[in-house]
A and B are shown apart, each in its own frame.
Chain A
């Protein structure tokens, strides 16, 4: 028995003696990060973390304590029991789905240990030579095991993956890109995007077209645009009373071609889109099985996503989205909250095409790569307002200039509603607050 497994036994035994019910979530994680500056690996960081969260029910109330000191079992249990004396009623924290069978999140690919992260960092740095842009970034190799224990049993899931965060700088553009991979190979989407960006770097500065013009949103901007809706469908926003869509489920909201679905990646799916690490475990941190969930169907928001706690507060069933941190990176010091880990935005086949097709279809418009500040009112309003961080002028189906920074407001109901035209058939991973595989989106004159 490993030291941590032994510790789980001890905590469980102590908690059983002092509480009516108990649950443990323990995380062991090893990260190695290589930072790349101007194409050269210039710093290495590593972190080893073992932490444990204990939640107990005692006399009808819930108490929670977390620790990194695994040797102090009595102290941990004592803290949880003390918190339960003043904690929330246990009725808000029902015990459901605790015996979910574990499912492997994907077999960790063989690699060369921590040296593989250096290899991948060197490959990232080499893009500086091939693209002509200055490349900065980080490559993180994560090895993680998550243990859940309760009176009815114990499960363990483990995973290993690489996360890549890159920033390509030219004389005028600063282009971020993030993605995951299970092998120390650069996703093809990263190279392709840098190649495109390098071609746009020398373009002249331009203002936005003055009249009505089409808007082509890159995946990063689509993420910003969707964040109000994704936040409003979060059980936490619903229970807090801050969701603008709660109470309006079932009402038409977006274009009838639009769908939004949260689902695990296909184990056999290739990594070239940079989504290879976006996988789910078998169950969430409440022990509820993870399963695909349709959030928006034919333009109609149909479901919120929940943890056990938010589902109980709303009188509905949990959906397996309760995670401490997120499914890829658990942090026991954070509370279990509903998190989307693999949302996919899609449209009907008649409304999808390649990026080149979408671009070619724009006579005059703008390509919005990223926005700043657009998430600040997330959940409160379907309007995203912020400042254009990076955008391009499109003229006659070609990128023709780099837009000057300016304020911008996008109404989700317009861009993905009556002005919606098409999505790209390729999707990229984007992860900020929530994670998804998102396409380019084209909207008619706005």
Chain B
């Protein structure tokens, strides 16, 4: 299509100036959404979402235009016109290493090969199981989404890349009546299009029911400072929300204090702490071998042995601003958005501690599993674990509810004193949001972490 349709003429006819950079991206996406709520299936929707965008960066100005029409010519001409007429500041892009590989292999049981009837039966059974499991259950939500998008990218520099993006998420939340508040248990799964991750989840649904029901009688946690042992999914999202977002290079532009905080060579955490953002592996949500500027993905070691090594994840614009190399982190949610520096797969390297050792070393603390919610503003963070149990004198005890973990983003790394030896590499339905581009697929790999003296409030 775009890549075989005489594309040089596309740029020649757009009225670009000689030294303007321009790119066009065409996307064709199909999405399936299934939602169960109340007493049964609420909606079954398929969406065909196609369109294109163009970006012009030149001396006279920069502009981005998108359209649900897939004819790139008018969109490119609009971007070129806006760049001149609306007269915004000029931009600059760093040279990059274009992606040259063939389309990567696809892994697992591709979601679109499974019929709608089978999906409705399987996922509907989870919903029915949750509703019928206990009289204290007040409701259950099952939200399934799969998408596949074919992307073609062409630049005025001559780069031409096509790639396919897949994503699949399942979120199951079970609610129970806890008096003045509702309690919840959840199951969260995801993949890069592999449907098999949502099979065989009945035991997880039953565990979610048990969590919601048991929390009704659980005591509210007493506010204070606790030693907290986080499981892999929680530790992974914590890394994403803290060092991950801090490393997105657009946040560094004009922010000298942040640049100093993440200066290479600065120690942030213990010597066993190494954190990397990398292109991920096929079949995972955070698999990004090529970004939306056509740059081949490369691993970026953010921290090694607790010390900042490479503190910035780049698109070509931020790379130019810092005179560094693009890292393959320029990602756009879809054709409606320009690419921004975004995370892909963040990974905390495994340590040496066993789960027993980590819990055994806690006199008064919490064992926190999964994530109900989390937010950071680059200075502080708050997290709501999906489930928390009390730890007393090295023993895991009953559930507590209302736990909110909070702290300073940079200060929390120093609180880590043990890292588990098993790195969790699954995917959840948790996605990334930034500047209106919400629900971008990412992966977060992490072992268990133990953090000392984390502030806990209750809600």
Q: How far is the CB of B63 from chain A (nearest CB, A)?
A: 5
**A376 and B372 contacting across the interface, CB-CB below 8 Å:** yes
* In the complex, B156 has a CB within 8 A of chain A: no
Binds A, one of B37-45, B279-287, B392-400, B444-452: B37-45
**Pair B380/A241 contact, Cβ less than 8 Å:** no
Whether A377 contacts B116 by the Cβ 8 Å rule is no
B251 to chain A, nearest CB (A): 13
Judge whether B65 and A46 touch: CB under 8 Å. Answer: yes
Q: Tell whether, in the assembled complex, residue A335 and residue B65 are in contact, meaning their CB atoms are under 8 Å apart.
A: no
| Interface 9-mer from A81-89, A283-291, A358-366, A422-430 | A81-89
Q: Does B68 contact A (CB under 8 A)?
A: yes
Q: What's the minimum C-beta distance from B22 to chain A, rounded to whole angstroms?
A: 15
What string of 1s and 0s marks CB contacts (under 8 Å) between A234-261 and chain B? 0010011111100000000000000000
- Is the beta-carbon distance between B377 and A372 smaller than 8 angstroms? yes
Whether A65 lies near B68 (C-beta < 8 A) is no
Range class of the A interface residue count: 35 or more
Do B83 and A377 have beta carbons less than 8 Å apart? no
Given A64-B45, A372-B377, A387-B382, the answer on whether A409 and B459 have CB atoms closer than 8 Å is yes
Question: Bound state CA distance, A73 and B459, in angstroms?
Answer: 51
**Interface flag for A302 (CB, 8 Å):** no
Asked if B86 and A114 make an inter-chain contact with CB atoms under 8 angstroms apart, the answer reads yes
On whether the beta carbons of A377 and B44 are closer than 8 Å, the reply is: no
B320 to chain A, nearest CB (A): 15
Chain B residue contacts of A309, Cβ below 8 A? 42
Given the known interface contacts A34-B86, A48-B66, A409-B457, the answer about A380 and B406 at a Cβ–Cβ threshold of 8 Å is no
Q: In this complex, what residue of B is CB-closest to A390?
A: B377
Query: Does B48 count as interface, using CB distance less than 8 angstroms?
Result: yes
Please give, as numbers and ranges, the residues of chain B lying within 8 Å of A72 by CB-CB distance: 48
| A243 to B108 Cα, complex, angstroms | 38
Contacts of A62 in B (CB 8 A): 43-44
Whether, in the assembled complex, B4 has its beta carbon less than 8 Å from a beta carbon of chain A, the answer is: no
As a 0/1 sequence over residues 328 to 362 of chain B, the CB contacts with chain A under 8 angstroms (1 = contact) are: 00000000101000000000000000000000000
CB pair B88 A41 closer than 8 Å:
yes
B48 contact from A68, A87, A115, Cβ within 8 A: A68
* CB within 8 Å of B: which A57-85 residues: 62-69, 72, 75-76, 79, 82-85
A372: B residues at CB distance < 8 A: 375-377, 380, 382
Give A82-131 interface residues, CB cut-off 8 Å to B. 82-89, 92, 114-115, 118
| Complex interface: stretch among B177-185, B190-198, B426-434 | B177-185
- Per-residue CB contact flags for chain B residues 370-391 toward chain A (1 = under 8 Å, else 0) read 0011111101111010000000
- The B interface, classified by DSSP as helix, strand, loop or mixed, is strand
Given contacts A114-B86, A244-B182, A385-B459, contact A45 B41 (CB under 8 A): no
**Which of A82, A381, A389 has the most chain B CB atoms closer than 10 A to its own CB?**
A381
Tell whether, in the assembled complex, residue B64 and residue A45 are in contact, meaning their CB atoms are under 8 Å apart: yes
Q: Is the CB of A49 within 8 A of B44?
A: no
Complex CA distance for A114 and B78, rounded to whole angstroms: 12
Report B30-76 residues with CB < 8 Å from chain A CB.
31, 33, 35, 37-51, 61-69
Q: Is the CB of B254 within 8 A of A44?
A: no
A42 at the interface (CB under 8 A from B): yes
Residues on B with C-beta less than 8 A from A381 are 180-182, 402, 459
- Contact yes or no, A44 B45, CB < 8 A: no
Q: Say how far A124's CB is from chain B's closest CB, in angstroms.
A: 13
**Within the complex, which residue of B49, B116, B117, B140 is in contact with A240, where a contact is CB–CB below 8 Å?**
B140
- Kindly state the separation between the CA atoms of A89 and B182 in the bound complex, as whole angstroms: 28
Rounded to whole Å, the gap between the CB of A318 and the closest CB of chain B is 15
Q: Shortest Cβ distance from B339 into chain A, in angstroms?
A: 12
When C-beta atoms are compared, the residue in chain B nearest to A82 turns out to be: B116
In contact, B43 and A64 (Cβ under 8 angstroms): yes
Q: Which residues of A lie under 8 Å from residue B180 when comparing CB positions?
A: 244, 381-382
Query: Is A87 in contact with B459, judged by CB distance below 8 angstroms?
Result: no
Residues of B within 8 A of A82 (CB): 46, 116
User: Which of A87, A382, A408: most chain B CB closer than 10 A?
Assistant: A87
Which residues of A sit under 8 angstroms from B120, Cβ to Cβ? 86
Judge if B82 is at the interface, Cβ distance under 8 Å: yes
Interface pair A239/B44, CB less than 8 Å apart: no
Q: Give the docked Cα–Cα distance between A34 and B88 (Å).
A: 8
B336 touches which one: A47, A64, A382 (CB < 8 A)? Answer: A47
Task: Say yes or no: A409-B458 contact (C-beta < 8 A), given A47-B336, A241-B175, A242-B182.
Answer: yes
Q: Using Cβ atoms and an 8 Å threshold, which residues of chain A touch B381? A: 373, 387
Q: Is A313 an interface residue (CB 8 A)?
A: yes
A42→B64 CA distance, assembly (Å): 12
- The number of chain B residues touching the other chain, given as a range, is 35 or more
Nearest-neighbor residue (CB-CB) of A242 within chain B: B175
CB atoms of A67 and B47 under 8 A apart: yes
Cα(A62)–Cα(B374), bound, Å: 35
Min CB distance, B393 to chain A, in Å?
A: 26
Q: Are A387 and B406 in contact (CB under 8 A)?
A: yes
A35–B250 alpha-carbon span in the complex (Å): 14
On whether A236 and B37 interact (CB within 8 A), knowing A34-B86, A48-B67, the answer reads: yes
Q: What is the bound-complex CA distance between A372 and B406, given in angstroms?
A: 10
Q: Which of A147-178 contact B (CB under 8 A)?
A: none
B42, A68: Cβ atoms closer than 8 Å: no
Chain B proximity of A331: nearest CB distance (Å): 10
Residue of chain B at shortest CB distance from A72: B48
The docked-state distance in angstroms from the alpha carbon of A389 to that of B380 is 8
Say if the beta carbon of B404 comes within 8 Å of chain A: yes
B47, B91, B137: which has the most chain A beta carbons within 10 Å? B47
User: Is A50 among interface residues, defined by CB-CB distance under 8 A?
Assistant: yes
Contacts of A405 in B (CB 8 A): 379-380, 408
Residue from A46, A86, A240 in contact with B82 in the complex, judged by beta carbons closer than 8 Å: A46
Check if B139 is an interface residue, CB within 8 A of chain A: yes
A30 CB to nearest chain B CB (Å)? 10
* Contact call A88/B65, Cβ cutoff below 8 A: no
Q: Are A380 and B182 in contact (CB under 8 A)?
A: yes
CB distance from B125 to the nearest CB of A (A): 14
Contact of A44 among B67, B82, B408 (CB under 8 A): B82
List 19 A–B pairs whose Cβ atoms lie within 8 Å, in order of A's numbering: A42-B88, A46-B78, A46-B82, A47-B65, A47-B66, A49-B51, A49-B68, A64-B44, A69-B48, A83-B116, A88-B41, A242-B173, A313-B39, A333-B47, A335-B43, A380-B175, A384-B459, A386-B375, A389-B380
Q: Assuming A37-B89, A377-B372, what are 19 further A-B pairs, CB within 8 angstroms?
A: A43-B62, A45-B63, A47-B336, A48-B68, A63-B44, A67-B47, A83-B45, A86-B44, A114-B82, A240-B139, A242-B138, A244-B182, A313-B38, A373-B374, A376-B382, A380-B184, A382-B180, A386-B375, A407-B457
- Give me the interface of B with A, judged by CB distance under 8 Å: 31, 33, 35, 37-51, 61-69, 78-79, 82-83, 85-89, 91, 116-117, 120, 137-141, 173, 175, 180-184, 254, 336, 338, 372-377, 379-382, 384, 402, 404, 406, 408, 455, 457-459
For the complex of A and B, 10 pairs with smallest distance between CB atoms: A241-B139, A376-B373, A241-B138, A373-B382, A385-B459, A381-B181, A68-B68, A42-B89, A239-B38, A373-B375
Interface residues of A (CB under 8 A from B): 32, 34-35, 37-38, 40-51, 62-69, 72, 75-76, 79, 82-89, 92, 114-115, 118, 236, 239-244, 309, 313, 333, 335, 372-373, 376-377, 379-387, 389, 405, 407-409
